[in-house]
Amino acid sequence: MTAVAQTQRETGLTGNSAIAYAMMQINPDVCPAYPITPSTSVIEEFSSYVADGKVETELIPTESEHSAMSAGVGASAAGARVMTATSAQGLALMWEMLYIASGMRLPIILTDVNRALSAPINIHCDHSDTMGARDSGWLQLYSETVQEAYDNLIMAVRIAEDKRVQLPIMVCLDGFITSHAIENISLLSTEAVQGFVGEYTPDSALLNVENPATFGAMTLPYAYMPLKKQQSDAMTASKPVVEEIAAEFALLSGRNYGLLEEYKLDDAEVAIVVLNSSAGTVKDAVDTLRAQGKKVGALKPRLYRPFPHAEIAKALSGKKAVCVLDRADSMNGFGGPLFTDIRSALYSDANRPQIIDRIYGLGGADFRVNDALGVFDELFKVQETGQVDELIKYLTV
């Protein structure tokens, strides 16, 4: 059980406790869930809030994640605000329903505590679960810290339900590293969170008996394709909404979030791109090298879907050498998902840098400051020679 004192705004919390606490503050209508490591304690703690009467949420313990997301789709179509959490195989079992949720434009809010996909079975952190869902039509926000995960989840509600968006959203944080480590966090008051997220009022809902509607009807090609365009347009249109809501959130919390975080990147000649908790490790390496006068920097995308391709290309344009760190391999023979996206985003930039991909941290493998320093050493060599010896490589193996 979380040790949050109701009156205290500054506290130490694990990532999962912070997510459960944010869910309590948001007070969703329905939470269908099937707990799985390492996201288990999100649902465990949230169910305590339900049992203690702190929320009015209908908690539905399902028999699988496929059922959890199915119940989520039904409840969301009925007009409910739906939140759930999962990891790895749980997200994989939701696969079919992820596409149904996005295609039906249901703004379901899911926390994924990143964990490696089996086989071999492994419960530790990597991004293969959410990377596999990157093209499922869900927005994806990644979180470096407990604070960012908490803040992302609160913003996620507004982004997903915005009339210009109306798409499901995934908030991702690193399994065990962020989910189970206690960090200092500044909490908003429940009143402030309630005021920020507001009420969910869908235009059509199954429970709206005044205006009955049909959901999930079959479409023939002449309607399927334009509906996909409609969905794709909404995905594109969501990018400025993410920025707009972050600006509004900054007024409330004093914390600023962009689509990307640029760390000492402005005058950097070489840079590392990395998602989630390892950004902290890379920033440490940047500080070490900056102290030696080396022009290095880091780029941490916070929004990954929709992919902020123009913003990333702008941030990396003119750098001499860039390494993309991927905590998942696409198994496509051409590197990790973040690498192929970023390399593609840079294609039409006249001042594009040399770029390499390094796969790291699979199945919870350690990625230390020394490993980040090793990557910078490789980048210095690329900068010096202008040559890339190894385009794609697994680190620390």
Q: Which residues bind other proteins (CB under 8 A)?
A: 103-106, 166, 203-204, 211-217, 219-223, 225-227, 229-231, 233
Q: How far is the CB of 227 from other proteins (least distance, A)?
A: 5
DSSP run (H or E) holding 344: helix 337-346
Q: Exposed e or buried b for every residue in 308-347, given b needs 16+ CB within 10 A?
A: bbebbbebbeebbbbbbbbbbbbeeeebbbbbbbbbebbe
Question: Looking at residue 82, what DSSP letter applies?
Answer: B
Q: How far is the CB of 230 from other proteins (least distance, A)?
A: 4
The Cα-based distances of 208 to 106, 164, 165, 174, 202 in angstroms read 15, 21, 21, 39, 10
Residue placing its CB nearer to other proteins in the complex, 104 or 316:
104
Q: How far is the CB of 229 from other proteins (least distance, A)?
A: 4
Q: How far is the CB of 219 from other proteins (least distance, A)?
A: 6
Please name the residues in contact with 27: beta carbons below 8 A apart, sequence gap of 6 or more: 55, 56, 57, 194
End-to-end CA separation in angstroms for the chain: 38
Q: How far is the CB of 225 from other proteins (least distance, A)?
A: 7
Residue placing its CB nearer to other proteins in the complex, 168 or 364:
168
Token digits for 299?
A: 């780029």
β-pairing verdict for 109-114 and 83-86: parallel
Residue placing its CB nearer to other proteins in the complex, 68 or 101:
101
Distance between CA 111 and CA 337 in Å, rounded? 20
Starting at the edge strand found earlier in the chain, the sheet holding 109-114 runs 83-86, 109-114, 169-174, 139-143, 303-305
The Cα-based distances of 312 to 18, 221, 236, 303 in angstroms read 29, 35, 15, 11
Residue placing its CB nearer to other proteins in the complex, 215 or 380:
215
Residue placing its CB nearer to other proteins in the complex, 137 or 336:
137
Residue placing its CB nearer to other proteins in the complex, 111 or 166:
166
Q: How far is the CB of 211 from other proteins (least distance, A)?
A: 7
Residue placing its CB nearer to other proteins in the complex, 232 or 370:
232
Q: How far is the CB of 203 from other proteins (least distance, A)?
A: 7
